[in-house]
Amino acid sequence: MMRRGLFAPALFALVGHTMGAPAMEPHELFDKLSPSVWTVSNYDGRSRVQSMGSAVTIAPGRLVTNCHVLEKGVSFTVDRENVSYGATVEFMDPERDLCQLKVVGFEAASVEIADSRELKVGARVYAIGSPRGLEMTLSDGLISALRRTEDGSLVLIQTSAPVSPGSSGGGLFDAAGRLIGITTFQRKDSQNLNFAVPSGLIGELP
């Protein structure tokens, strides 16, 4: 699912590591990060799939996705290839469209979260997710703009990296393989206007 619209102003937490991390080749980045990006399936009361999205592993047994991926869901799974785990919602922030899932026995590697202060317009970025349910899809582009509130708080990353329905909740990564955003929606009435929630906001979920 992809959602159109903007989010209300919000302050953001800063999580990250050193500046100037070396860039990776796209195939190296994909090999490292794709095991941490999973498909989210949303089931109704009759155990029928009613929507699908993506999620990123941010800690042992913890993944982050968009709240709109989970709307009206009775139960959820995170899936990759032939592996599936039951998931429960641990934290919700519908205003920022970020939700955290808890998965028992889940051992996928966690991604590194970038410092939002390092983001620059024009930087190369990569999106990994499950557009239209097509698992482990990689696309690339640039940071097109950094959308801020009047007080300067970063609320959206605009990118030219292509996303589609099903990409929601997937990861937007910098060239060093660090998570910079959670892909959230695209403007369907425009060409290649795609948006992600800054990963710095993940630290505020608890």
SS3 call for 56: strand
Q: What is the DSSP string of 18-33?
A: -SSPPP--HHHHHHHH
How many alpha carbons lie under 13 Å from residue 118 in its C-beta half-sphere?
22
> Could you say which of 51, 54, 79, 97 is catalytic?
97
> Could you say which of 116, 144, 168, 199 is catalytic?
168
The token duo for 206 is 């608890």
> Could you say which of 41, 51, 54, 68 is catalytic?
68
Contacts 24+ apart (CB under 8 A), 6-9: 6/147, 6/155, 6/156, 7/95, 7/96, 7/97, 7/155, 7/156, 7/197, 8/95, 8/96, 9/149, 9/150, 9/151, 9/153, 9/155
Q: Catalytic residue at 97?
A: yes
Give the residue numbers marked as catalytic: 68, 97, 168
